[in-house]
Amino acid sequence: MRLAPGTGNDIDLGRVDLFDLDLYTAGDPHAIWDVMRATAPLHHQVLPDGREFWSVTRYDDVCRVLGDHREFTSERGTVVTHLGVDDVAAGKLMTSTDPPRHTQVRRAIGSRLTARAVAPWEDRIRQAVVRFLEPALDGGSFDLAERALLLPAIVTGPILGIPERDWDELVQLTAMVTAPSDPHFQHGSEAATLAISHHELVTYVTEWVGRRRSAGGEDGSLLDHLMNVRAGDAPLTDEEIALDGYSILLGANVTTPHTVSGTVHALIERPEQFQKAQADPSLVPNLVEEGLRWTSAACNFMRYAVHDTEIGGGTVPALGAVVAWIGSANRDDSQFPDPHTFDITRSAAKRHVAFGFGPHFCIGGPLARLTLRVFFEELLQRFASIELDGEPQHLRSFFIAGMTHLPIVAQKRQTP
């Protein structure tokens, strides 16, 4: 999708289809969200097949929907690709479970993913990032978006306990889950793509657990830790381990590549921002936060109203599906002045909700921040400039905002 919007003067919200995949592949949802925040902060849409949903686009409303499980439950489904179909993993998959059970599982798993816990991995991550960037230093065309899909596996594969021989397959499967209509990842229909990828990923984790149990001992990996998690007074069931392992694989692989490519694209279009970051490396952490806000790779999350609930100047009926548009909240000018300007010195950048909000705030956020910081430190240190070497191609998905191709040419920076 376009990350810098055009004008919204001619937008008729009565004719807008927020599930139109072309809107995200070649269109301009930001202009639509601007109009929705201003004139229809609670927007209702009925799809041709009869399914319906309500949208919230303002920052405060998005935070409320994501933050209050008593009003908006996660236990009927949390991603728009499952709209209208109750989540069979509700109460077992951590992301589809409300507190207090969610809190118990999250606390046990999250202890291995705090900022302090992931800090010792920095050297390993830096080595992986350096290897990843090396091919771009020869001055030839380098498809950053395509190659970045593998970056999280290179970084987190050893941390998760996933052998390198499996990385390509798992990256493909996680992409199929989140963009089942994109021709790069689709296998048959959208429904078939989702079914295949879900089955294969859950089966992978189940078989991984079986092998680890047969081998005995511990390897110190995150998936190994998951096998020993206790929530409340009992260990996780094998089904919970398989589902939460599946969720961790998705979280590790899906959003970071698109944050990388979207942020680099923003720097290419604004060379003064690239030069500013290069001249002052202390700006890199804020560059990361602005990149997260700007790209909003996880474009939305879904909840269901527990009862009739007033929000955004209207009412969502009990059991109504509510889509909280992350990409819109992160461009709300009540929180981010001049929101459509990419500014690495923005003081409010860290207020973004790119990792979600509330109980389901991304458990891997600290690891993602560390990976992105290291990536841009190394990129700015090695590259004197970056230019496009072709047209970007955008992901065909209304759930993940990203690119499938971003061909670049980089000029190597001369060391003094």
Identify the pLDDT of residue 4: 64
**Whole-structure pTM value:** 0.94
- Mean pLDDT score, 34-48: 96
**Average pLDDT estimate for 216-235:** 81
In this prediction, residue 191 has a pLDDT band, given cuts at 50, 70 and 90, of confident
Structure tokens at 254: 């899906």
The per-residue pLDDT for 20 is 94
Instruction: Tell me the per-residue pLDDT of 157-172, one tens digit each, with 9 for 90 and over.
Output: 888 888 999 999 999 9
Mean predicted confidence (pLDDT) in 70-83: 92
Mean pLDDT of all residues in 82-109: 88
- Joined together, the tokens standing for residue 74 give 């996660």
Tokens of 365: 């956020």
- How confident is the model over 227-244, as a mean pLDDT? 85
Contacts of 304 (CB under 8 A, 6+ apart): 72, 73, 75, 76, 77, 319, 320, 321, 322
Q: Is 12 left (phi over 0), alpha (psi -120 to 50) or beta?
A: beta
Q: Which of 229, 231, 224, 197 is nearest to 208 (CA)?
A: 224
pLDDT, position 217: 67
pLDDT for 2 equals 62
Contacts of residues 46-54 at CB distance under 8 Å and 24 or more positions apart, as own/partner, are 47/19, 51/83, 51/84, 51/321, 52/320, 52/321, 53/80, 53/83, 53/302, 53/320, 53/321, 53/322, 53/323, 54/314, 54/316, 54/320, 54/321, 54/322, 54/323
Could you tell me the CA-to-CA distances from 283 to 194, 218, 262, 396, 412 in Å, in that order?
40, 39, 18, 32, 21
287 and 344 in contact (C-beta within 8 Å)? yes
**What letter does residue 72 receive in the DSSP assignment?**
E
**Distance between CA atoms of residues 359 and 363, nearest Å:** 10
Which pLDDT does position 241 carry in this prediction?
87
Phi, psi of 232 (to 5 degrees): 70, -125
Q: What is the pLDDT of residue 126?
A: 96
The four Cα atoms 248, 254, 259, 262 give a dihedral, to 10 degrees, of 180
Structure tokens belonging to residue 261: 């490519």
For the cut 80, the answer to whether the pLDDT of residue 106 exceeds it is yes
Predicted pLDDT of residue 90: 83
Residue 15 pairs in a beta bridge with none
Could you tell me the pLDDT band of residue 230, with boundaries at 50, 70 and 90?
A: confident
When comparing pLDDT for 63 and 188, which is higher? 63
Asked if pLDDT for residue 216 goes beyond 80, the answer is: no
The H or E element containing residue 110 is: helix 101-110
What residue ranges define each of the domains in the chain, with the CATH number in brackets? 13-412 (1.10.630.10)
What average pLDDT does range 99-122 have in this prediction?
Answer: 92
Q: What is the pLDDT of residue 234?
A: 84
Minimum mean pLDDT range among 101-115, 131-145, 208-222, 315-329: 208-222
Q: What is the pLDDT of residue 91?
A: 83
Q: Above pLDDT 90, what percent of the chain? A: 69
Residue 8 has pLDDT above 60, yes or no: no
Average pLDDT over the chain, rounded to an integer:
92
Residue 136 confidence (pLDDT): 94
CA distance 151 to 174: 13
Nearest to 180 by CA among 168, 196, 200, 203: 196
pLDDT band at 236 (very low <50, low <70, confident <90, very high): confident
Amino acid identity, position 227: M
pLDDT of residue 46 exceeding 60, the answer is yes
What is the reported pLDDT for 87?
83
**Confidence band (pLDDT; 50, 70, 90) for 6?**
low
What's the confidence (pLDDT) of residue 286? 98
Q: How confident is the model at residue 215 (pLDDT cuts 50, 70, 90)?
A: confident
Task: Give the per-residue pLDDT at 258.
Answer: 96
Q: What are phi and psi of 300, to 5 degrees?
A: -160, 165
List of residues 6+ apart from 158 with CB closer than 8 A: 124, 221
**Mean pLDDT on 379-387:** 96
Q: Tokens 């798993």 map to which residue? A: 109
Q: How far apart are CA 43 and CA 98, in angstroms?
A: 25
User: pLDDT value at position 414?
Assistant: 81
244-298 pLDDT, tens digit per residue, is 888 888 887 889 999 999 999 999 999 999 999 999 999 999 999 999 999 999 9
Could you tell me whether strands 42-46 and 52-56 are parallel, antiparallel, or unpaired per DSSP bridges?
A: antiparallel
Measured CA to CA, the distance from residue 372 to residue 64 in angstroms comes to: 28
| pLDDT, position 42 | 98
Is the link from the previous residue into 100 a cis peptide, with omega within 30 of 0?
Answer: yes
Q: How many CA within 13 A on the CB side of residue 188?
A: 7
Q: Which parts of 216-358 fold into alpha helices (H)?
A: 222-227, 238-253, 255-269, 271-279, 284-295, 326-329
pLDDT of residue 160: 85
